[in-house]
Structure 1
Amino acid sequence: MAIMGYLRDRMGKIVAGVIGLSLFAFIATEAVRSGGSFFKEDNNELGSVGDEKIPLDKFNAAVEQNLAQFRQSGQTHVTSQITAYVQESAWNQLVSKAIFTKEVEKVGLAVGGDETQNMLTGPNPNPRVVQAFTDPSTGKFDPAAITNAQNAIKSMKDDDPQRAKWNEFVTDLIDGKKAEKYLALVSNGIYINSLDAKDGYEAKNKLANFKYALLEYASIPDAKATPTDADYSSYYDEHKNEFKNPQELRAISYVSFNAAPSKADSAVVETQMNKLLPDFIKSTDDSLFVQINSETKAPLTWQAKGQLDPKIDSIMFKQIPGFIYGPYLSAGAYKLSKLVATRTFPDSVKARHILITAAEAGGPDKAMARADSLRKLIESGKGNFAALAQTFSADKVSAAKGGDLGTFGRGAMVQSFDDAVFSGKKGDLKVVTTQFGVHVIEIEDQKGSSKVVKVATVDKPLTASTTTQSAAYSKAQTFLASINKDNFDAEATKEGLKIQKADDIQGTAAALPGLFEARELVRWVFKAKQGEISDQVFTLGDQYVVAHLTTVKPKGILSLDLVKDKIKPEVIKQVKGKMLSDKFAAAANGATSVDQVAQKVGVKVVPVQNIVFANPVIPGSSAEYKPIGTVFGLAVNKLSKPIAGQQGVYVLQVDGFINPAPLTNAVREKEQMASALLQRIEGSLFDALKDKDNVKDNRAKIL
């Protein structure tokens, strides 16, 4: 039974390992962006990888497991941002698993029984195994626990849920090992030859000394560089691959109607708080008063200056107990704060403890009895605190130091522990219960002295009334009824409404700039056709929103029309570049040096020393790839043609090169270059395989 209990205790970690360290998570490194609600349209296909479908129920199961992991880690409140992160992680896990399962099968990779066992019980077990079988109280890995778990599994029935979870855990290890082998196959295909090594060495060590003349783009006003359609087409054709859209994106214009609390709403809540004031003044049990009347049921604790609400922090430290401040508005709520008590506490405490846990003692009562016995033993002088801590304390880290916790300030420990050591005096021996167990505490020293206060605060959130919400919603509905796809902007302007935009919306987004909890709106955006007006008023927090779908950017290479506004600054720069190049070309006619060209166009010549090809930065400027590349291809004293860079158009002339010493360690250079190349491969492998396997993502229309 002990083995079965141990196994069940560890199952949470095993499942967390399966999800948290998903078998291909090290490859699926796409930035987590956004997501939304789930458990909708259960019969729909969420996506596919080639011929393999990704069903919604499988995705939902992965999401639930990921959420369970968050909760196990102490995340009790799951926000929309966490939900989005969890959904994106679950999607990447399913897609990466499908992709790499196919790739592994193609090349015939396998993991044998001995390899599997070695990952579990070998001299260097898999990190996931180490994590799952590490004792949280000691931080030590327990190899024997794995053997115990395996033996327990063998005695279970085939349909036992614990057996299924264990099999899932082992399968995950095997699949992860296959993925490692696949990556190793790809990595082993990297080869750097001697010529590559020589070029790489020279790129980092060959020095160039040159001088240049620069005509900056800023010297020509934008108004004098009007691009033609041919200019746009030329730039677009040269950079077409930069406009590849990995997923469909959409854009909207929208207006919002504010339903935030009005002055009348504020007055109502303030009046309610004023009605509470006489009872608060008379209250003799302020903690109970807070629990009954406050929206926030915060316990009354001692707080130092700087820990209170900024609106009352300085006030409370100048008053006497019984003083009440408020009602005052803070953090979206009206509050009343009463100074309950003041006292002086030390700034820091040095203490040591012995921790007795209920699990080790055989129950809470036995833990308390053992702690009391240890305290009496120490008080009688028959027991040495440090020796007893080393023998009995469940806190092995401090036990190794005789129970010493060092010196710490208020707030470093849990509340009940803090209260005990800061309210006592040097030399006190106390027994205190916390969520960790029962502590025998000795206060060894106290330093400093500061005033602390205990403040009771009653709060009531300031929320919009039904009248306020109805008025804002009515305005939004009236506006919606008056518009169509052709007059949205005109009607909004006529009504004095601010038109806002949200560009490049992703299909899984849960929020938009300035709009939180916007999943319902995003879902409409990806079901609507371009030009459509929203079919309803969307309620987003205290905002009512009416939207107009203005742009659809499909997956793949975007058309010139869709990127024209985005590329306009670069196209203008290109037009200026032609004008400046023509100016330089005219000045270079008959010239033999950059000094002569610079004099004709009225600019200074700038000398540059010790530039390497691998770091193409011109001092005082930015990275200039084309000009520096031109330098390393020029003959000494030869005048270059005009070269368009990032800051403007350059004309360059090389004074000379300083060649490095001959390469003596080609092996080391090859290793460095291979390592850098490998890092790039690991980062792009998943994306490349995803494109190859034709991954389809229907989440935008389903979730």
Structure 2
Amino acid sequence: MGIMGYLRDRMGKIVAILIGLALLAFIVGEVVKSGGSFLRDDNNELAVVNGEKVPYDEFQKKLDQNSAQFKQSGQAISPQITSYIQETTWNQVVSQLLMNKEIEKLGIVVGSDESTSMVNGNSPDPQIARQFSDPQTGQFDRNKLNQFLSYLQSAKADPNQKQAWTDFLTQLIEAKKATKYMALVTNGLYVNSLDAKDDYEAKNKLVNFKYATLDYASIPDAKVTLSDEDYSTYYNAHKGEFKNPQDVRSFEYVSFNAAPSKEDSVAIKAQIDKLAEAFKTSTNDSLFVQINSETKTPISFQKKGGLEPKLDTVMFNAAKGFVYGPYISNGSYKLAKLTDEKTTFDSVRTRHILINPATEGGVEKAIAKADSIKKLIQGGKSFADLAATFSVDKGSGSKGGEIPAFDVNGAMGGGQGQITPEYTNAAFKAGKGDLIVVTSQFGVHLIQIEDQKGSVKVVKVAVVDKPIAASSKTQTVAYSHAQQFLGNLTKDNFEAEVKKEGLKKSVAEDFTGVAASLPGLDNARDIVRWAYKAEKGDITDKVFTVGDQYIVTRLTEIKPKGILSLDAVKKQIEPAVRNEVKAKQLDEKLSGGSSIDQVAQKAGVKVIPVQNIVFANPIIPGASLEYKVIGSVFGSQPNKLSKPVNGQQGVYVYVVDGFTNPPALSNNVREKQQIAQALMQRAAGQVLDALKDNAIVKDNRAKLL
């Protein structure tokens, strides 16, 4: 029983680690399954990475596994999270393929003796040591590991658990290979004495200087005319900054609102008004809720603070049978009825022994075992000893079965968690000292009521809701308008038709082929798929439905992977180009003086002194980060007026008053260690970035996900 308990307690964590071990510390989080089956014409090729195929079904299997793990965490799934985690998973899969190629090329292996040592050696792999640790001390418990391995070899072992363990070990070995590969890289990193000296001075050498500046904002944008040459000059000087890591697209669109109208709201209100009278006279409120409510919420006792605010202030002062509403909450009309009230304990403290039906041959046999243990306790056996022996909840079992006190809502003190409704209800109905057997989603509990404290009023409230939804008439009118607008469009008249109809045009810019949502458009996968099949200037051939909006789109931009053209980045670089043109005018205003005071007087600005600036933190107090200016300052001679320097916020001239050198670096070991540590921390990511940059990737995700 101890082994089964430990297995149940730990296997979830082991599976989680299995998902996250690939590629060193690259943790693949919870992934939401997206899209359906697009395997038409036997197309099972999600991508090709350096000639190696990534099958769609295998990728989907990983998404399914990670989706299940994500759902177990209880976190909400949103389109934004879907998009983010899908991209994370893609990066992990591609990285693993590229890393495996390098490992294979270099002949890196993990031998049988080494893999055995990772599990059974004197110093097992840290992942294994963590999973088989003593919960009290946190130290590795070899007995638990040996018991677990013995269980896997027994006839009682669950085949799924055996496979999970095999997969877990496989990932450990793959991670070990990756560790060896990264060791080859990091062992080649070297920090010399000059590196240490430069880093030390960058952090500790001080400079005092005076400067005068004219902000770019001092020249109105309207007074600056930008030429094609201005754009070309800037583009050619910064071409390397415009490398697009992947194909992105943009479209403009018009939205036709199909949200519920005032008439729709009135109609829903009339429905809920009719229900109100019947609700007041209902003798079976649970059945009434199940028949008439959109949300089939179980009716249970709640203490003050457990109801939504509108009800919390009303129901605890109302008489039984009181009906509140209709009222609006979370987009629905609602009715609420006080069906019962009572005074009960404020909190209950219990301990339990949890029996796993799966290992006992079913729920009935698990209940029978719980009854047997109950008789042992009634006969004088120690509950704490039996909990340590038989409970599969090892967290509480090691503490004699004790769990924190909880209230009538099942909430444990200090935000420690939530008790299941079955457990909570049984505990509040029983008396102090009682031993009861209860079944929940976690198994069969043998519960002992240790204490019941305090006194609190609780109420049971039945709620009927009717969402305020758009009627078919409202939807039809909006859809017809969208269809009419689409029917009038050609490739050349989108702007004119928008203006003619008095509509508002919106844009979605630079999204990738796997985007699940766009600004203002949740669940926009259909539109994204269309965009990656369309050509620039294309109008959609259908009206898209996104939430309560009908959308008509026109593809405006395709930015391919690689160095973007000037036309593609012209809008993006316009502010920087304008500042460069302004800088030429400002340079003239800050030139011609023999001292910084003369320059400042001529330009009509003040001279500002600054002290104790270091190269490693290039911030001008009261201004902003000015890399170019501070870099120029540290390369200047004292007492020499500089030429104008074009910074981030404006144009500067300066005079260095002097430098304060730090004490000579007598022992550079610490500096070398700090630099080396920073290099090693960046190494894994930079190696993978380099492998990706040089990889040839055919990416079909936009069509298949």
TM-score bracket, normalised by the shorter chain, equals: 0.7 to 0.9
Residues 214-271 of structure 1: CA deviation (Å, up to 9, x unaligned): 2222222112232222221121112111111111111111112122223333333323
- The 1-side partners of 2:295 and 2:132 are apart by 39
* Pair 1:210 & 2:217 matched: no
Residue 467 (structure 1) aligned with residue 467 (structure 2): no
Q: Which residue of 2 aligns with 1:545?
A: 551
Q: CA separation in 2, counterparts of 1:258 and 1:515?
A: 12
For residues 15 and 172 of structure 1, the distance between their equivalents in structure 2, rounded to whole angstroms, comes to: 11
Task: Tell whether the 8 Å contact from 2:251 to 2:556 is kept in structure 1 after alignment.
Answer: yes
Ranges in structure 1 where 5+ consecutive residues have no aligned partner: none
Q: After superposing the two structures, state which structure 1 stretch, 353-362 or 683-692, moved more.
A: 353-362
| 8 A Cα contact 2:253 2:551, kept in partner | yes
Stretches of structure 2 lacking an aligned partner (at least 5 in a row): 413-418
1:390–1:552: structure 2 CA closer, same or farther, 3 Å change rule? closer
Over 3 Å counting, the alpha-carbon distance change for 1:453 and 1:165 in structure 2 is: closer
Map Cα deviations across residues 79-137 of structure 1 (whole Å, 9 max, x no partner).
Answer: 65565456434433432222112111222211111111122222343355457778999
Partner secondary structure for residue 537 of structure 2: coil
How far, CA to CA, are the matches of 2:137 and 2:37 in structure 1? 39
What is the CA RMSD across the aligned residues, in angstroms?
A: 3.7
1:538 aligned partner, one-letter code: F
Match of 2:352 in 1: 354
Partner of residue 567 from structure 1, selected from 567, 573, 580: 573
2:602 to 600, 603, 610: 600
Identity of aligned residues (%): 53
- Map 1:34-73 onto structure 2 (within 5 A): 36-41=35-40, 42-71=42-71, 73=73
Pair 5,336 (structure 1): closer, same or farther in 2 beyond 3 Å: closer
Q: Distance in 2 between matches of 1:418 and 1:645?
A: 65
Q: CA deviation at 1:441?
A: 3.4
Q: What is the aligned counterpart of 1:641 among 619, 628, 643?
A: 643
1:420/1:430 contact within 8 Å kept:
no
Counterpart of 2:689, as a letter, is: D
* 2:174 alignment partner in structure 1: 175
Name the counterpart of 2:436. 431
Match in the other structure for 1:503: 509
Structure 1 window deviating more from structure 2 (609-618 vs 48-57): it is: 48-57
Number of equivalent positions = 686
Q: 1:290: Cα distance to partner? A: 1.6
Taking the TM superposition and a 5 Å limit, the aligned residue runs for 1:98-497 are 98-129=97-128, 142-145=144-147, 147-148=149-150, 151=153, 168-345=167-344, 347=346, 349=347, 351-358=349-356, 363-370=365-372, 372-373=374-375, 376=378, 395-398=393-396, 400-401=398-399, 403-406=401-404, 408-409=406-407, 410=409, 411-412=411-412, 413-419=419-425, 429=434, 431=436, 433=438, 435=440, 436=442, 437-444=444-451, 446-447=453-454, 450-497=456-503
3-state SS in 2 of match to 1:311: helix
Q: CA deviation at 1:294?
A: 1.8
Q: Give the equivalent residue in structure 2 for 1:684.
A: 686
Q: Distance in 1 between matches of 2:285 and 2:403?
A: 34
Change (3 A) 1:576 1:101: same
CA distance in 2 between counterparts of 1:498 and 1:367 reads: 69
Measure, in 1, the Cα distance between the counterparts of 2:233 and 2:188. 38
8 A Cα contact 1:356 1:371, kept in partner = no
Give the conservation status (yes or no) of the 8 Å contact 1:34–1:84: no
Shift of 1:666: 0.9
Show the counterpart of 1:631.
Answer: 633
Distance 1:357 1:15 in 2: 22
Q: Secondary structure at the match of 1:317?
A: helix
What is the TM-score of this pair, normalised by structure 1? 0.88
Measure the CA separation in 2 of the matches of 1:25 and 1:106. Answer: 19
CA distance in 2, matches of 1:368, 1:28: 40
Would the aligned equivalents of 1:358 and 1:367 in 2 still touch at CA under 8 Å?
A: no
Quick check: 130-139 or 463-472, which moved more?
130-139
C-alpha deviation, 1:3, in angstroms = 9.9
Deviation at residue 454 of structure 1 after TM alignment: 1.6
Report the CA distance between 1:200 and its aligned residue. 0.6
1:365 partner letter: I
SS at structure 1 position matched to 2:601: helix
Cα separation, partners in 2 of 1:298 and 1:561, compared to 1, 3 Å: same
Cα drift, residue 632 of structure 1: 1.3
Pick from 530, 534, 538 the counterpart of residue 536 of structure 2: 530
Q: CA deviation at 1:695?
A: 2.0
Matched to 2:620, the amino acid is: I
The one-letter amino acid paired with 2:310 is K
User: Secondary structure at 1:628's aligned position in 2?
Assistant: helix
Is 1:674 the counterpart of 2:673 in the alignment? Answer: no
Cα displacement string for residues 169-193 of structure 1 (whole angstroms, at most 9, x for unaligned residues):
4433322211111111111111110
Q: Which SS does the other structure have where 2:635 is aligned? A: coil
